[in-house]
Structure 1
Amino acid sequence: MTDALSLVDDWGPEKIVVVSHRRTGMKGVLVIDNTARGVGKGGTRMSPHVTVGEVARLARVMTWKWASVDLFYGGAKAGIVADPTSPDKEAVLRAFARALSNEVPREYVMGLDMGLTENDAAVIQDELGDRGAAVGTPEHLGGVAYDKLGVTGYGVAEATDAAARYLGLPLGGSRVALQGFGAVGHAAAARFAELGATVVAVSTAKGALHEPNGLDVQALLAAREEHGDDFVNRHPEGTVLPAGQELTVDCDVLVPAALQDVISDETAHRIKAKLVVEGANLPTSPQAQEILAQRGIAVLPDFVANAGGVVAAAFAMDARYSGFRPHTPTIFQTISDRLRANAVVVMEEAKHRGTTPHIAGRGLAEERVRTAMQSKGRVPR
């Protein structure tokens, strides 16, 4: 069991709120990590396995992610211990929103993460009677349709292209392996194909599909639409592998875009890619990052690579009370500009400091957060 007080360090968390509701069985947690640069903003996830420690780690990632792309919101995250496929999902979600009515939206604005959909964001707004309570609502309610637009996956591919070029590894013709073909992975694959990369492996919870000569991404997207995660076992192309083996296939670029903690020390020794791009949050351990660095494999951190979602969320935050929808082409252009520039800055800083991109990138983000904390008198000037 996590001792919440043991999670506190020089950066946060500022507040941990654990809530429950007897009738629905709802249990959940909100972690507001650091609001020196603005109100807490981060996704809300629903899973039977949510823990306080997990949500706190993700809230910290959000602190660095907002600071890394130089947008003025604070790190926060929420989690609900429940099965997102349960028929009681809406009742649990409404109970969770009510329990946090003191914090939402004054201190924290809910968003989407694993297990929640655009309609769930609309339910939160409805329950609290406030359009500002959540972002990620359906487009017909004025929201930015993150998953439909594929903003996070698009940003992952844009950041990958910039980092690969910096390393002298043009993405055109490079072989890319993707772990995960959900909201992030499938959009990244589509953009990789547009940029001329060859996608040699993809995976879902049902297994992995590998074709050294390249998979037809459009055919994969159609198969996913028809069969869901099981498309990897039904597709006529490629060889089916057990889930997890896509991480160690022969490729130039590896993109873990599914779950956290998937690249262990042991896996890091077997990765064949020249560049690892963290499409998911926290997919590599610090020890694995060191091993990859020692092997000459660059790793583009999650708070840089998958920040397309937070850039889009910033537009959604601005539009919460507006009668106008955000301009979609502007969102995509801003994601491309910010993530490409940030990827190069972090890679250059890592080279200059002689350290890993994680440490270099976090150092830049920490500097911005520390400056904000000093200006507000939260730490000594």
Structure 2
Amino acid sequence: MSEDLLSRIDRWGPEKVVCVSDRRTGMRGVLVLDNTARGMGKGGTRMSPTLTVAEVSRLARTMTWKWAAVDLFHGGAKAGIRFDPGSPDKEAALRAFARALRNEVPAEYVFGLDMGLVEDDAAIILDELGRGTAVGLPRALGGLPYDELGITGFGVAEATDAAASAQGLSLGSARVAIQGYGAVGWAAARRLAELGATVVAVSNAEGCLHDPDGIDVGRLAALREQYGDGCLREHGGAVLDAEAILRLDADILLPCAREDLVDEDAARATTVRLVVEGANLPTTPAAKEVLHARGIPLVPDFIANAGGIVAAAHSMDARLSPFTVDPADVLAMVTAKLRENAVAVLHASAQHGVTPHVAAQQMAEERVAEAMRLRGQVAVDRVSVDVG
């Protein structure tokens, strides 16, 4: 593991990696501070029984670009706990992880929420380490509950609408397939329906619900509250294998599940006209190249799903304040920033003949590099792509 981690260090980071463990609970965890040139490390904490240091390192780098692309002043970081979030000992493992990082929190890192953790878990961090150490708290504790409000999915839908418009595709006549019906996918479906799109397919771990005439998004959301992943079968209709969603007839695909699920084969087979990444790192590098070669635009993850960090930025400002954050202010900023970035990146991609991911990364790199220069850190050589 050490050799693998050392090989990942480049001109951008990571600056610091902290691995911790607890014999009593069996918790093993890691914090990766990738690049803090633009501000202190901020990123979500995930819990998974298969979590790896490499996974967290990749996600921390994504956070570096995400903060820079949305032009808010925090640095890239991510934390993870290798533990089953369904275990009855989840709370004990989470408390052990928080205690082990007491020296880093909140001076260098503030806990947020990612896969496997919910608002009540943020409250546990608060109880363990004190006020100011976590965001995403329940509303009763003065927090802005991202998942309850569906802020990340809302932003993905806004980016989708803007990108579709820029490509001459009306969302009102578009058929959308959503891979992953978790915290991001359900909220994206809700907002897309409000914007006039027809959601024709939704997938999760249980399969893929497909209705070419359109899924009743409101009913499916209510069933998710009651049955979890079983909501697809409770809804009724055709339930296919989960992988089928990548082959169905649709205009827009939103990968909102796990990393690397849209591979080269899927990119060659898909008939969609636009891909918008709702999850972090859902499309492999080879698949991005295939999509680009086929003329299918892709809005990168750190552009499309940055709604969560806009909410996190508001929460960071308010975490030591007695005043709560107004969700309307957050949603307004999400709409403005994500729509503008989605269009700018697709424009730069077309103008310079590079993939949208390259265009987006160059925009983020310019901002991080300038912060590094001003702080007297290592100069960064790069090829500039104007996305203004």
Q: State the TM bucket, normalised to the shorter chain.
A: over 0.9
Secondary structure at 1:339 match in 2: helix
Whether 1:179 and 2:179 are equivalent positions in the alignment is yes
| Gap regions ≥5 residues in structure 2 | 381-388
Task: Note the C-alpha offset of 1:380.
Answer: 3.7
2:369/2:379 contact within 8 Å kept: no
- The CA distance in 1 between the partners of 2:42 and 2:101, in whole Å, is 14
Structure 2 counterpart of 1:223, one-letter code: L
1:177/1:246 contact within 8 Å kept: yes
Secondary structure at 2:320 match in 1: coil
Task: Note the C-alpha offset of 1:167.
Answer: 0.5
Q: Match for residue 328 of structure 1?
A: 327
- The CA distance in 1 between the partners of 2:5 and 2:259, in whole Å, is 21
Q: Match for residue 33 of structure 1?
A: 34
Q: Match for residue 291 of structure 2?
A: 292
Task: Note the C-alpha offset of 1:295.
Answer: 1.0
2:135/2:143 contact within 8 Å kept: yes
Q: Match for residue 211 of structure 1?
A: 211
- The CA distance in 1 between the partners of 2:218 and 2:167, in whole Å, is 28
Whether 1:221 and 2:221 are equivalent positions in the alignment is yes
Task: Note the C-alpha offset of 1:268.
Answer: 1.1
- Alpha-carbon distance change, 380 to 284 in structure 1, aligned in 2, over 3 angstroms: closer
- Give 1:49-198 correspondences, 5 Å limit: 49-129=50-130, 131-198=131-198
Q: Match for residue 369 of structure 2?
A: 370
- The CA distance in 1 between the partners of 2:48 and 2:268, in whole Å, is 31
- The CA distance in 2 between the partners of 1:208 and 1:125, in whole Å, is 37
Q: Match for residue 233 of structure 1?
A: 233
- The CA distance in 2 between the partners of 1:172 and 1:319, in whole Å, is 37
- The CA distance in 1 between the partners of 2:347 and 2:125, in whole Å, is 42
1:17-59 per-position Cα deviation (integer Å, ceiling 9, x unaligned): 1001111211100000000000000000001101000000000
Structure 1 counterpart of 2:242, one-letter code: A
Q: Higher mean Cα deviation, 272-281 or 215-224?
A: 215-224
Task: Note the C-alpha offset of 1:209.
Answer: 0.5
- The CA distance in 2 between the partners of 1:380 and 1:64, in whole Å, is 17
Structure 1 counterpart of 2:114, one-letter code: D
Structure 2 counterpart of 1:53, one-letter code: A
| Gap regions ≥5 residues in structure 1 | none
2:48/2:116 contact within 8 Å kept: yes
- The CA distance in 1 between the partners of 2:352 and 2:105, in whole Å, is 40
Whether 1:200 and 2:200 are equivalent positions in the alignment is yes
1:191-218 per-position Cα deviation (integer Å, ceiling 9, x unaligned): 0000000000001110111111111111
1:268/1:288 contact within 8 Å kept: yes
Identity %: 62
Q: Match for residue 272 of structure 1?
A: 271
Task: Note the C-alpha offset of 1:352.
Answer: 1.7
Q: Higher mean Cα deviation, 258-267 or 216-225?
A: 216-225
Q: Match for residue 386 of structure 2?
A: none
1:112/1:121 contact within 8 Å kept: yes
- The CA distance in 1 between the partners of 2:96 and 2:127, in whole Å, is 12
- The CA distance in 1 between the partners of 2:13 and 2:314, in whole Å, is 26
- Alpha-carbon distance change, 380 to 201 in structure 1, aligned in 2, over 3 angstroms: closer
Secondary structure at 1:172 match in 2: helix
Secondary structure at 1:45 match in 2: strand
Secondary structure at 2:14 match in 1: coil
Aligned residues: 379
Q: Higher mean Cα deviation, 216-225 or 198-207?
A: 216-225
Structure 2 counterpart of 1:204, one-letter code: N
Secondary structure at 2:132 match in 1: helix
1:160-181 per-position Cα deviation (integer Å, ceiling 9, x unaligned): 0000000111111200000111
- The CA distance in 1 between the partners of 2:57 and 2:136, in whole Å, is 21
1:284-312 per-position Cα deviation (integer Å, ceiling 9, x unaligned): 01110000111111110000000000101
Q: Match for residue 350 of structure 2?
A: 351
Task: Note the C-alpha offset of 1:61.
Answer: 0.4
1:247/1:256 contact within 8 Å kept: no
Task: Note the C-alpha offset of 1:276.
Answer: 0.4
2:11/2:378 contact within 8 Å kept: no
2:56/2:79 contact within 8 Å kept: yes
- The CA distance in 2 between the partners of 1:97 and 1:351, in whole Å, is 45
Structure 2 counterpart of 1:44, one-letter code: T
Structure 1 counterpart of 2:42, one-letter code: K
**RMSD over aligned Cα atoms:** 1.0
Structure 1 counterpart of 2:231, one-letter code: F
1:243-266 per-position Cα deviation (integer Å, ceiling 9, x unaligned): 111122100000011111101111
